[in-house]
Amino acid sequence: MFTVGDFLDLYVEKYLFEDLDNMAGLTPKKGKQEGAAGYPIVLTVFAGIELLGALVRPAKFDVGDGRKCFRHYWQECMYRPRHRRDIADAIYSLVRNGLAHGFAVKGSIWVCKNQPNRHLTRDDQGRLWIDACELIRDLKDSYTNHVKPSVLNKTSVAYMNMQTRFDEMTKEFTTEVANSWRELGSLQQVASEVGTPVGTGAAFSNGTSSGNLALNHAVTSSFPTNKGNP
């Protein structure tokens, strides 16, 4: 049985955190200012926040509750101080949705790296700053402090809640895979020896193959990052 603990170990502690650590070390090519992967880091962290929020919330999993999942984890696990806690919805609308749907933030929002004093502050010109590396640290710290202890205590109420949410998520996504997989039937079949997949986890499957059909991990590519509003 693939438990929520197995899922978190593979998809969060290995795939998510290792990808983020690698992106955190990226620097622009010589002679360029762009290419440090600031936007991809922010977008990846926000996907992790939404995922973890879905698992730790007491409410039944619903694919339409992305904002609620993000808000719950941001406020209850990452940023308790009110001046950061209260901006969850604005961050979701302006940054998460902007990057997810158009790879552009909405408003005067600047992404930097390794400038922790700027993180989640506004300067005298009204610009909001997000330090991508600090965002990674905040996510990892919150996981260590609020999620990992529950994973290690499988008899706790918190762990049982996460397992229930994970079971609901698995059921929802497995159904989606079953409904959508047929649409891939026109693709050319290639022998499995051609190309080696980076990840082999199989969290959600339509039951027709031993491979991971829904969340197969792939090498994350690094994209240029815009330092401010494009």
Q: Is the pLDDT of residue 204 over 90?
A: no
**pLDDT at residue 57, as a whole number:** 96
What pLDDT, in 10s, does the model give residues 15-24? 999 999 999 9
Residues 6+ apart with CB under 8 A from 173: 203, 204, 214, 215
d(CA 86, CA 120): 12
- Overall average pLDDT of the 68-75 stretch: 98
pLDDT band at 160 (very low <50, low <70, confident <90, very high): very high
- Rounded mean pLDDT, 86-100: 97
Residue 219 confidence (pLDDT) above 60: no
Residue 155 confidence class, pLDDT cut points 50, 70, 90: very high
